[in-house]
């Protein structure tokens, strides 16, 4: 059986969310039909946002070390439930042999193929590091989708919500209520959907009751993992 490795800990709740979604998205008749998964939950990886915005220590050495530990366990592919960490995706992939499924590229490919989103506006909710390095904006640059990012004041609220989720604050929080007002304003301006461009953001989607489409890259990644690994495992079973 092919095995997927989760390079996690950025943060732990987002890692649990991805694991849970992989399990829930896997069609099974009994428990042995589930995918083999190895999780390295490493919350000691330095802050990706601090590294980008405040000259903090680079997370790359810790990312490489964590990925190499997963390689030692013979995983066949790696997923990384942290959008901002994809700023170092190429360097990380160059440092290991195991293929890493790119969460950002996967999200873009799915949205860009869906004609419903063509010539529509989508709001990106992400860390300031992801926005600063244009991790999503560069992908959408030549697409038919208009990607909107919050202004500086709105981004402070987004960052507060992300931090609240990382700290395990009880929801809904004051920052979340402010964010809901921001989303209402964007909806009135014709924005049809919101992208959870930080892995903590989908965790607040149950509290977002407006009609905007909630695009969950964690869920899209889970589906990609299930599709790829299930097809590979089924192929190997047929060969045997």
Is 189 marked active-site?
Answer: no
Q: Is 98 exposed, middle or buried (0-12, 13-18, 19+ CB in 10 A)?
A: middle
Is 82 marked active-site?
Answer: yes
- Alpha-carbon torsion 201, 205, 207, 212, what sign? positive
Catalytic residue among 4, 6, 37, 82: 82
Q: DSSP letter at 141? A: T
Catalytic residue among 14, 49, 147, 198: 198
In 3D space, the residue among 229, 19, 224 whose CA is nearest the CA of residue 104 turns out to be 224
Q: Quote the CA–CA distance of 26 and 43 in Å, as a whole number.
A: 27
Catalytic residues: 82, 198
């Amino acid at each position: 059986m092919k095995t997927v490795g989760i390079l996690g800990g950025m943060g732990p709740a987002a890692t649990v969310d991805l694991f849970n979604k992989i399990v829930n998205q896997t069609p099974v008749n009994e428990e042995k039909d589930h995918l083999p998964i190895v999780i390295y939950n490493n919350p000691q990886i330095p802050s990706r946002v601090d590294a980008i915005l405040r000259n903090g220590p680079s997370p790359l050495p810790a990312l490489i070390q964590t990925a190499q530990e997963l390689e030692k366990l013979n995983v066949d592919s790696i997923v990384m439930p942290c959008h901002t960490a994809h700023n170092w995706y190429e360097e990380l992939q160059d440092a290991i042999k195991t293929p890493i499924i790119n969460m950002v590229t996967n999200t873009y490919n799915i949205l860009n193929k869906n004609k419903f989103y063509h010539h529509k506006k989508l709001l990106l909710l992400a860390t300031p590091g992801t926005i600063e390095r244009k991790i999503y904006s560069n992908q959408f640059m030549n697409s038919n989708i208009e990607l909107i990012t919050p202004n500086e004041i709105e981004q402070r609220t987004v960052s507060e919500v992300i931090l609240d989720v990382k700290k395990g604050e009880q929801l809904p929080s004051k920052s979340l209520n402010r964010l809901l007002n921001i989303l209402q304003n964007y909806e009135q301006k014709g924005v049809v959907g919101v992208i959870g461009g930080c892995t903590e953001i989908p965790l607040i989607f149950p509290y977002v009751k407006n009609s905007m489409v909630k695009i969950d890259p964690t869920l899209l990644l889970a589906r990609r993992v299930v599709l790829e690994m299930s097809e590979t495992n089924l192929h190997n079973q047929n060969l045997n």
